[in-house]
Structure 1
Amino acid sequence: MMTATIANQLELFKPFKLINFGLINHNFTFVDLFSGIGGFRIPLEELGGKCLGYSEIDRESIEVYQTNFSSFINSDEIDLGDIRSLNELPFDEIDVMVGGVPCQPWSIAGKSLGFDDPRGKLWFDVIRLVEKNHPKSFIFENVKGLTEPRHRESFIYIIDQLKEIGYQVKHDVLNSYDFGLPQDRDRVFIVGIRKDLEDSSNFAFSKPASKEPKLYDFIQGIECRNLTKKKFSSEILFDGKIPASRGRFQQNDELNDFFTFADIRNGHTTIHSWDLIRTTQREKLICQTILKNRRKKIYGQKDGNPLKFEILEKLIPNLNEQEVEMLINKNILRYVQAQGYEFVNSKISSGINGVSKIFLPHSNVISTLTATGTRDFVARVSLECQEPNEYKKMFIREIYKKRRFKPISAQDYARLQGFPEWFVIANNENIAKKQFGNAVPVPIVRYLAKALLKIIL
């Protein structure tokens, strides 16, 4: 059951309501590039904007876009089609140009080909369209990967080109969590204002002061109960050595509020395949030995090497091949010809038995929603236990084995991206998830646009 908390959270951003945009007095215009399903359009129209035209080539996204905005589309609004075919647009003045430029060329989830990917070259079309049509301002969004060292040269080129064609340009990486959404989603936003406009250099990125969102505020069918967490020393949680890989939403003195299913990593809330089925202490020792040594460079240059029996018998006293074969029979290990033994579950993204992570209802965030989908789930109930030695065992017993967890639905995706309740999603669940995974978080756009409009208007 949804709680009143979500309403309180969204009140920070003036929740969007289904209104007759045809009756309001428009005070600015915008063009919606790479419009997708309308993540930019929703907050811009709510702020009083009139869409002059939209550009999108994915037919399924266009269907959803038109379903939601057809009653607001005026006779003079134009379906602009493919951005690669556009040049000078038939509009007297464009106040704001927006777009979520395709991110796959810059994402670690893609092949990271940058400008060598045809989709990466779409930035050239964006720059050309801005130069030809001179909008007063623009807001463009992309993955954080565009700003990282491997793509830094390309990113600087994009920014410099936008500056050279007459714009004051600023950029920042913003996280959805800071704008009231319980999703760990970093995205770079590029904001430009035409230099001939007064105060064009005055735009500044800032973050709203929001309450901490929780998953139970946004996802239906999970328990709504906050827990006061105990504090622990690093000696208790990490044997005194805090892993450098811990992220922003993992407290170093608290138990994690999610569980990761992976045989190739370790941690106080990491679930291994040998934790889920009946295994002896000796079998667990063999698995842990492989886990601790598989990444050592003395055994190979891969980020995870199969280990030969000759190596294992030196690491594990009195080891015999029958013991290793038993773990193969249990589908925990496999033998790679001429290389050695490795885990069957050897990819973090694949998880174990189709599960990558299970988040507890009181978690502050869930992992980034993607177009390709995730193997993340949410527990239906909270976990009272906060004793480190029992935490994982109780989770397996009370939540995992009793199947007290649920997949994240397309409607959950919509809420986690800040889309309003009136928004009509695609009929196909997988298509809807893909569309929301590609979408821009609505509250961030609204916040940026509000700040931008104060200057250009």
Structure 2
Amino acid sequence: MAIRTETNQLDIFQLLQPLNPKSIQKKFTFVDLFAGIGGVRIPLEQLGGTCLGYSEVDKNAIQVYQQNFIKNKESDKIDLGDIQAVGKLPFTVDLMVGGVPCQPWSIAGKLKGLEDSRGKLWLDVFRLVKVNQPKAFIFENVKGLLEPRNRSSLEYIFKNFTESGYIVKYQVLNSYDFGLPQDRDRIFIVGIQDKLENCWGFTFPKPLNHKVKLYDVISGLEPYELKKAKFPPEVLYSTGKVPPSRGRFQKPDELNDFFTFADIRDGHSTIHSWDLIPTTPREKLICQTLLKNRRKKIYGSKDGNPLTFEQLQGLLPDLKVSELNQLIDKGVLKNKENKGYKFANSKISSGINGVCKIYLPHGDAVGTLTATGVRDYVATVPFKCQNPIAYKQDFIKNIYSPRNYKPLTAQDYAKLQGFPDNFQLFSNENKAKYQFGNAVSVPVVYHLAKEVLPFI
């Protein structure tokens, strides 16, 4: 199998290279709050910035940060420690930056917002901005901060920054729009001192025209051309209509670039457990009947209800209990406490056999990398099938069954976040993934900061 060449890789990362030092009109200083492993520091230093101080409390993150940025003991003096203990800084600073802990607003967390101890760290951010008056600031958080339930918190954040003397703007930026094959939405809040000239003139960066594929970034994948066929809705979807839930990287008239492993959802690229083990057409019909009806309100108010034998028999009049028991024996169904029949694989996050998604190498983007980890894989050989009828079976035959797929490694995470090749990772693979899942996408900050710098 051909391996991506260094030339391919260089073409990608040229997009992330620093400006020509001679073209940088003005040096600037910054403070790196909630520094993590330094995803914000990398692009700011590329743009000519000097870090005067950083704050981080996670010991593993500090270790990675220091091994990549702190070159001598003298530099160690810029360690500010816990943000809650930081007050008036012994220096003036141009730019204050940080990825404020996002769990209080994330669906992966408990959604407590400012009531969460991590959410209250915003109070320390307000205090530091007010006391130290940087010329500008950039703070990053999850898109969930914009949801209606968090509206009052967002207004509170803006009110505090505005009262401290800043013009404040925000926008959601996606990593894919800045040269990375990752579908990662993040809100960026930018403030510029209202006494600075033309402070209202700041605008967020526009998406880049340069797009990459997964095989451009993930190691060990072979680049290949694929002319994608177009199909009408009645061919791709059982209802004959485009589902409203389809995301940005699910073209309405094309086959998906990934396969989802789940028994409780359906689609032209959804793999079910009954697709992977020997099952009869009759057994498949029973499973599809349960799948199509389990979310109907007549069977309950949950997003997926167990159906009793009587309810299933009303849908399949000739159904026998023995048929359901056979599917229980095969591990497809379960009948817990005789409350009704449901799928044994009942959580999308668990996938099937430890696999949630397998992305195809020619795909545009993986889903958002998270600190909690994902059970996502990428196919290691080309897959060019464009026949909707044969799509799933060809995938199972050529990719899944022969195990022509691999998990995303920590090094893959690093590249999907735009970190340079010489960045030193944490020694433990899973902890390194955790750190990159928490990090910011380097090129997003790079292009955003380029728009902020003229105002400071």
Deviation at 1:209, TM superposition (A): 2.5
Matched residue SS, 2:310: helix
Question: Take 2:25 and 2:429, find their aligned partners in 1: how far apart are those partners?
Answer: 36
Q: Map of 1:306-317 to 2, 5 A cutoff?
A: 306-317=306-317
- 1:2 aligned to 1, 4, 9, which one? 4
Deviation at 1:6, TM superposition (A): 3.5
Q: Name the counterpart of 1:215.
A: 214
Alpha-carbon spacing, 1:266–1:152, altered in 2? closer, same or farther (3 Å): same
Question: Take 1:382 and 1:156, find their aligned partners in 2: how far apart are those partners?
Answer: 48
Q: Name the counterpart of 1:152.
A: 151
- Partner amino acid, structure 2, of 1:14: Q
Q: Map of 1:19-34 to 2, 5 A cutoff?
A: 27-34=27-34
Q: Name the counterpart of 1:139.
A: 138
How many residue pairs were aligned?
A: 450
Q: Name the counterpart of 1:127.
A: 126
Matched residue SS, 1:12: helix
Matched residue SS, 1:406: strand
Q: Map of 1:7-86 to 2, 5 A cutoff?
A: 7-14=10-17, 27-71=27-71, 74-75=74-75, 77-86=77-86
Deviation at 1:26, TM superposition (A): 8.0
Which string of whole-angstrom CA distances, capped at 9 and with x for unpartnered residues, describes residues 361-380 of structure 1? Answer: 00000010000110010000
Question: Take 1:39 and 1:261, find their aligned partners in 2: how far apart are those partners?
Answer: 32
Question: Take 2:18 and 2:408, find their aligned partners in 1: how far apart are those partners?
Answer: 23
Question: Take 1:152 and 1:430, find their aligned partners in 2: how far apart are those partners?
Answer: 34
Question: Take 1:308 and 1:370, find their aligned partners in 2: how far apart are those partners?
Answer: 37
Q: Name the counterpart of 2:318.
A: 318
Q: Map of 1:350-389 to 2, 5 A cutoff?
A: 350-389=350-389
Matched residue SS, 1:174: strand
TM-score norm. by structure 2 comes to 0.96
Contact kept? 1:9, 1:210, Cα under 8 Å: no
Question: Take 1:138 and 1:211, find their aligned partners in 2: how far apart are those partners?
Answer: 27
Q: Name the counterpart of 1:339.
A: 339
Which string of whole-angstrom CA distances, capped at 9 and with x for unpartnered residues, describes residues 65-115 of structure 1? Answer: 000011277548421111111111111x11000000000000011111111
Question: Take 1:16 and 1:423, find their aligned partners in 2: how far apart are those partners?
Answer: 19
- Partner amino acid, structure 1, of 2:127: R
Q: Name the counterpart of 1:98.
A: 97
Deviation at 1:2, TM superposition (A): 2.9
Matched residue SS, 2:254: coil
Contact kept? 1:413, 1:437, Cα under 8 Å: yes
Alpha-carbon spacing, 1:10–1:73, altered in 2? closer, same or farther (3 Å): farther
Deviation at 1:9, TM superposition (A): 3.0
The 10-residue stretch of structure 1 (333-342 or 257-266) with the greater mean CA deviation from structure 2: 333-342
Deviation at 1:150, TM superposition (A): 1.7
Deviation at 1:212, TM superposition (A): 1.7
Contact kept? 2:289, 2:315, Cα under 8 Å: yes
Contact kept? 2:18, 2:43, Cα under 8 Å: no
Deviation at 1:304, TM superposition (A): 0.6
The 10-residue stretch of structure 1 (403-412 or 210-219) with the greater mean CA deviation from structure 2: 210-219
Which string of whole-angstrom CA distances, capped at 9 and with x for unpartnered residues, describes residues 15-45 of structure 1? Answer: 699x9xxxx9981110000000000100111
Which string of whole-angstrom CA distances, capped at 9 and with x for unpartnered residues, describes residues 125-150 of structure 1? Answer: 10111001100000000000011112
Deviation at 1:446, TM superposition (A): 0.7
Contact kept? 2:97, 2:137, Cα under 8 Å: yes
Question: Take 1:76 and 1:63, find their aligned partners in 2: how far apart are those partners?
Answer: 12
Alpha-carbon spacing, 1:75–1:390, altered in 2? closer, same or farther (3 Å): closer
Q: Name the counterpart of 2:440.
A: 440
Question: Take 1:216 and 1:159, find their aligned partners in 2: how far apart are those partners?
Answer: 41
The 10-residue stretch of structure 1 (270-279 or 45-54) with the greater mean CA deviation from structure 2: 45-54
Over aligned residue pairs, what C-alpha RMSD do you find? 1.7
- Partner amino acid, structure 1, of 2:182: Q
Question: Take 2:410 and 2:423, find their aligned partners in 1: how far apart are those partners?
Answer: 12
The 10-residue stretch of structure 1 (150-159 or 343-352) with the greater mean CA deviation from structure 2: 150-159
- Partner amino acid, structure 1, of 2:137: F
Question: Take 1:73 and 1:16, find their aligned partners in 2: how far apart are those partners?
Answer: 29
Question: Take 2:183 and 2:349, find their aligned partners in 1: how far apart are those partners?
Answer: 17
Contact kept? 1:16, 1:43, Cα under 8 Å: no
Contact kept? 2:172, 2:187, Cα under 8 Å: yes
Q: List runs of 5+ in structure 2 lacking aligned partners.
A: none
- Partner amino acid, structure 2, of 1:8: D
Question: Take 2:113 and 2:61, find their aligned partners in 1: how far apart are those partners?
Answer: 24
Question: Take 2:166 and 2:411, find their aligned partners in 1: how far apart are those partners?
Answer: 38
- Partner amino acid, structure 1, of 2:320: N
Alpha-carbon spacing, 1:215–1:16, altered in 2? closer, same or farther (3 Å): farther
Which string of whole-angstrom CA distances, capped at 9 and with x for unpartnered residues, describes residues 355-398 of structure 1? Answer: 00000000000010000110010000121210100011000011
Question: Take 1:44 and 1:8, find their aligned partners in 2: how far apart are those partners?
Answer: 21
The 10-residue stretch of structure 1 (61-70 or 225-234) with the greater mean CA deviation from structure 2: 225-234
Matched residue SS, 1:163: helix
Question: Take 2:126 and 2:350, find their aligned partners in 1: how far apart are those partners?
Answer: 38
Alpha-carbon spacing, 1:96–1:72, altered in 2? closer, same or farther (3 Å): farther
- Partner amino acid, structure 2, of 1:2: R
Alpha-carbon spacing, 1:15–1:422, altered in 2? closer, same or farther (3 Å): farther
Q: Name the counterpart of 2:203.
A: 204
Q: Name the counterpart of 1:452.
A: 452
Question: Take 2:196 and 2:249, find their aligned partners in 1: how far apart are those partners?
Answer: 40
- Partner amino acid, structure 1, of 2:272: H
Deviation at 1:349, TM superposition (A): 0.7
Question: Take 1:385 and 1:241, find their aligned partners in 2: how far apart are those partners?
Answer: 23
Which string of whole-angstrom CA distances, capped at 9 and with x for unpartnered residues, describes residues 292-346 of structure 1? Answer: 1111111111111111111111111211100000000000001121421110100
Contact kept? 1:16, 1:420, Cα under 8 Å: no
Q: Name the counterpart of 1:297.
A: 297
Report sequence identity in percent.
Answer: 62
Question: Take 1:76 and 1:410, find their aligned partners in 2: how far apart are those partners?
Answer: 27
